Amino acid sequence: MSSYPHPIIAREGWFHIASAFLLALIVHIFLGWLWALPLWLIALFVLQFFRDPPRIIPLQANVILAPADGRIVAVEKTQDPYLKHDAIKVSVFMNVFNVHSNRSPVDGVVTERWYFPGKFINASLSKASLENERNALWIKTDKGIDITCVQVAGLVAKRIICHAQPGDHLSRGQRFGFIRFGSRVDVYLPTDTKINVNIGDKVYATTTILAELRG
């Protein structure tokens, strides 16, 4: 997968931003600013939603970086439903005001990718991990450790975008996808991983260290 530069505004939003501003402009010209004001506010909301700022990448070895901006809603021992082994799941919930660009938590190769159609219930709920529309990446780190990173659609999210394909090598912090309008990202880690976050913590994609791998 080719690297993606940081244009500040995510390319996945360019069409939506242009459409929102064009509609507001047309209404402004033909009906006046008062009628257009709600549309200008909507256009500004769409613009802020698709912001995609560059991030500083921590250089520490054996760390797991946050794959998304948001709030931690789950840290629990469970079974990885994709690789079928015991794991620790760390979940990041993104509200509509968070940056929705998704970034790789580790350096590694995408071994497999799975897509599942599903529901669009509130992504902050635990059952969203297995019932909502989702896209899962099995990433084998450069040291041979298996990590699963799952994009999960939310209540109003209608499109999961993933640019990574099996065989691609992802660098930690590398942008690999986007979820439009509210969602969550789950990361399944080895059971001996040292977790550095707690439920309720705010995290930021790439800059926050979620956990540290043993060894």
Which residue in 91, 104, 124, 183 is the catalytic one?
183
Sign of the C-alpha dihedral computed for residues 115, 120, 121 and 124 taken in this order? positive
Question: Residue 3 catalytic?
Answer: no
Residues 31 and 71 in one domain: no
Q: What is the pLDDT of residue 128?
A: 74
Helix residue ranges, H only, 50-163? 128-131
58 domain residue, yes or no: no
Cα(144)–Cα(111) distance, integer angstroms = 11
Q: What is the pLDDT of residue 90?
A: 98
- The single-letter DSSP state of residue 67 is S
Residues 163 and 98 in one domain: yes
End-to-end CA distance of the chain: 29
Largest Cα–Cα distance of the chain, in whole Å?
65
Give the DSSP H or E segment for 23: helix 14-31
- State the residue for tokens 């690789």: 83
Residue among 98, 82, 84 nearest 134 (CA) = 82
What length does the chain have? 215
Residues 155 and 178 in one domain: yes
Three-point CA angle 200, 79, 206, nearest 5°: 45
Q: What is the pLDDT of residue 192?
A: 95
Residues 39 and 74 in one domain: no
Residues 33 and 74 in one domain: no
Residues 119 and 202 in one domain: yes
Residues 86 and 111 in one domain: yes
182 domain residue, yes or no: yes
Cα(113)–Cα(167) distance, integer angstroms = 10
Q: What is the pLDDT of residue 159?
A: 79
HEC states along 146-167?
EEEEEEEECCCCCEEEECCCCC
pLDDT in single tens digits along all 215 residues of the chain: 656 666 789 888 899 999 999 999 999 999 999 999 999 999 999 999 999 998 999 989 899 999 999 999 999 999 999 999 999 999 999 988 899 899 999 999 999 999 998 777 766 777 878 888 899 999 999 999 999 999 998 776 567 899 999 999 999 999 999 987 768 999 999 999 999 999 999 999 999 999 999 86
185 domain residue, yes or no: yes
Residues 107 and 159 in one domain: yes
Which domain range does residue 18 map to?
A: 8-52
Contact between 108 and 169 under an 8 Å Cβ cutoff? The reply is: yes
Q: What is the pLDDT of residue 6?
A: 63
pTM of the model: 0.90
Q: What is the pLDDT of residue 7?
A: 72
Domain count, the chain: 2
Three-point CA angle 83, 94, 81, nearest 5°: 15
Residues 73 and 159 in one domain: yes
Residue 109 backbone phi and psi in degrees, to 5 = -105, 135
Residues 87 and 163 in one domain: yes
Q: What is the pLDDT of residue 125?
A: 73
Q: What is the pLDDT of residue 18?
A: 97
